Amino acid sequence: MSSKVIIIATLLLIAVSFSVLFVIETKNHNYDFDKSWTVVYFDNPRNSSLEFMIENHQGSKTEYAYEIFVNDQSVAKNRVEIAAGAKQKIEPILDLNKYRAGSENARVEIDVSLGEVKYKIYKDIK
Amino acid sequence: MFISLLKLLLAVPFVLILPGFFLMLAIFGTKNSKISFFERAVLIVPTSLLAVDFLVLLMNRLMIPIRGPILISGILLLCFAGFAIFYFRFKKKPVTREVPDEKISRAFEFTTWQAVFILISLFLAFFFKVTYLSDSILPAATDLGHHMYWSQTIVNSGRLPVYGVPDFIIGEHIIFAVINLLSRVGLMTAMPSLVLLMINIVGIFTLAILAGRMFESRKITTLAIFSAGLLYTVSAPQARYVSGGVVGNVLGDALIPLCLYFFYRALAERASLWAGLFIFFFVGLLYTHHLSAFVLIFSLAAVALLYLVLNYDRLGKIIREWFKIFWQPFPVVMLIASLIFLVLVFTPSYFNGSAIGQATGEPSKITRAGLDLSQIENNTGSARLFWGALGFLLLLFEIRRRDYKYSFALAWAGILFVMSWKPGWLFVNIPSDRVGNYLFLPFSLLAAFGLAAFLAKFRKNSTKFLATVLLLILLFFVVTNGLSDSSDALKTKNQFQQIVETYHSAQYLAATVDTQKDILLKDHINIAADSWYKLFFMKDYKYPLSRGLLSRYVDTTKSRETCTRDMISSPDSDQARMCFSQTGVNYVIVNAQLEGTDFEKSPEFSKVYASNYLSIFKRN
């Protein structure tokens, strides 16, 4: 009889452990659960498109400031408010020829700021 | 989430309990003096595991696609076959098979207090393991990432992979693919770790039934569960190996005691049934983990040799007796079936001369030259080593040469100790710490015997009061030392945020790059969960490329490629430039907090992705 109790208790403990750990993993697999981070990236890194995304995983609605530089010259700045867990696509419209100043390449840099933290991405456009 | 959990809770018993249950029924019927309820229950999971492995190997050989519905049919067919055999063997002649209760072994009929002690040990073991795993349950471990790549390959292709390298063994991957195909619960979830946790728990019981059968004492069975289950329950090769995804070791630790269990019973009871089952489990282990199989072969050889040496005056008689046990229809059929599987159905990837040659001979590296005694103590655990050594000595002093249990316990512990301490003596050329991880098995068994024997002797020669005081002091030492690693489980800090940022970056690249043209390089040193990157692409085992641990680039015996290191460490150097053009690497993923400054200074790179943890640079 005692061995049956031990086997049944073990099966129950396995089932409970499975459930607890499965729930912990699933919750934490979420980009937003109990986390605080931001990501900025070019929508398409393979071409010369300047569309970029800001994803807010800070845990609450957040206002980001962004500034666009071409060859270190500030050409645009703005602020955007993004809900928790949401992402915002930004499509800058720039006439790069205006800022090239004779050089063949134009380095377009996007600085996204959240308080003191800065997220910088850039592309060299021919 | 809860639907997935429910599917998992249904799929796991379907795969890991049902086939074993029916196979046990086919072999032993409903009640049998040869096996207790406890042993039968313990054997169900490993039997299921191997039966499903063999089923999938056969399906693959017959070109039957490995898909969910076909697997369900296959497993049900296996269960039906088991039931049919049971029906024809046992139901038709119930009277002849009826067994009186008193003939069943009492080694597993625990008293109430023993049952309470076991339940407390198990509860605490679960508690510490789950607490530790709760901080590492998000898939991130390097080994597990590598293994799950191969399981995902099975899921995607419906075929078993051709590895091309001896490092991976098919039995490490089938079970996860099967559970994924049946439950649809992804491989990049808690599922693989949960399956490993279950096998790890089963491993405690497999050692307990071996101890129970060898010593025919429920006290020792109880203490074996305590020693193997609760002591050092977090450190390697326990929960740490579960979360680390050291699949082969976890499976091997559960299967090795079973192989010895069947081998012991075959020899001690002179019964061919156990010999046949020994062959089944031994071949199953060959398909599961090369190192465990290697360790087992040495252990079996040591056991046989010690027994023969102890009984040198009956040498011929013993060998004839062993031959008789194995030269019976059931073991012979199992042997032939095994050979057919190994030769015609699926040959394990490490079955070749060079892989075997690499593992034997003089130790070729310092890491293979053996552990010193303090390393062995760390590996096995002080309390376990102390009581194991005491058990070893007590057994040695009371040795009865004709009794197999002495040869089994002493030779198993002895050979593993020598393999870990002085591997050169045995021409073993594998990393010593990996062999040392198996020491806990014989030492848990010996510790259980040592504790039981010591307490019994002391109680006989002392007052009840003194015995109780001593017991409490002993328990205090054993528990405080044995649980010292478990206290670490409560202090760990998870890396969940870094891990999901790694997932996010991989997802981003998988959605944007062209894997036919773009070559990725990531930094294994500083990025958590980076080995899981390959599951987002499923292009090739070596895609993306990785900068490995820096020590791997230094080898005095042969030249190693250094491009993967140089392209991250100094991207602007001439060497790195040459590497970029040779390898075609055009995306580099690095830890934003530690690396990236050199890339930002270089005019050759754009930075296309920036998060708190990671940066992705694209070569212009």
Point out the residue among A6, A22, A27 whose CB comes nearest to the CB of B115: A6
Domain ranges for chain A: 1-30, 37-125
pLDDT score at B214: 93
Average pLDDT on A7-15 reads 95
For the domain made up of A37-125, give the CATH fold: Immunoglobulin-like (2.60.40)
Residues A39, B501: C-beta atoms closer than 8 Å: yes
Please say whether the beta carbons of B34 and B236 come within 8 A. no
Banded pLDDT at B21 (limits 50, 70, 90): very high
| Percent of chain B residues topping a pLDDT of 70 | 96
pLDDT score at B456: 82
Query: Is A121 an interface residue toward B (CB < 8 Å)?
Result: yes
- Residue to test with chain A: of B130, B179, B593, most A Cβ within 10 A: B130
Taking contacts as CB-CB distances below 8 angstroms, the residues of chain B near A66 are none
Q: Give the helix/strand (H/E) hosting A79.
A: strand A73-82
Question: Distance between CA atoms of B554 and B545, rounded to whole angstroms?
Answer: 18
pLDDT score at B34: 87
User: What backbone phi and psi angles, to 5 degrees, belong to B112?
Assistant: -60, -45
A44-53, B69-78, B189-198: which has the minimum mean pLDDT?
A: A44-53
Residue B484, class by beta-carbon neighbours within 10 Å (0-12 exposed, 13-18 middle, 19+ buried)?
A: middle
- Residue to test with chain A: of B117, B500, B604, most A Cβ within 10 A: B500
What's B96-130 look like in SS3?
Answer: HHCCCHHHCCCCCCCCHHHHHHHHHHHHHHHHHHH
pLDDT in tens, B530-584: 999 999 999 989 899 999 888 888 877 777 888 999 999 988 888 999 999 999 9
DSSP A88-113: EEE-----THHHHTT-S-EEEEEEEE
- Å from B397 to nearest chain A CA? 32
Average pLDDT on B221-228 reads 92
Check: pTM over 0.90? Answer yes or no.
yes
Tell me the helices (H) and strands (E) count for chain B, helix number first.
Answer: 29, 5
pLDDT score at B23: 95
Calculate the alpha carbon distances from B505 to A106, B208, B594 in Å: 26, 46, 17
Calculate the alpha carbon distances from B144 to B141, B173, B247, B527, B604 in Å: 5, 10, 7, 15, 35
- Å from B244 to nearest chain A CA? 15
Domain ranges for chain B: 2-100+117-359, 496-619
Calculate the alpha carbon distances from B123 to A31, B130, B178, B303, B318 in Å: 33, 10, 29, 34, 44
Instruction: Specify the DSSP class assigned to residue B430.
Output: S
B26-35, B118-127, B536-545: which has the minimum mean pLDDT?
A: B26-35
pLDDT in tens, B390-431: 999 999 999 898 999 999 999 999 999 999 998 888 888 888
- One-letter amino acid at B252 equals G
pLDDT score at B423: 86
In this predicted structure, the answer to whether residue A93 has a pLDDT above a threshold of 90 is: no
Token readout for B143 is 């080994």
Question: Distance between CA atoms of B306 and B157, rounded to whole angstroms?
Answer: 48
Token readout for B324 is 């008789």
Please say whether the beta carbons of B453 and B215 come within 8 A. no
Average pLDDT on A12-33 reads 95
- Å from A104 to nearest chain B CA? 13
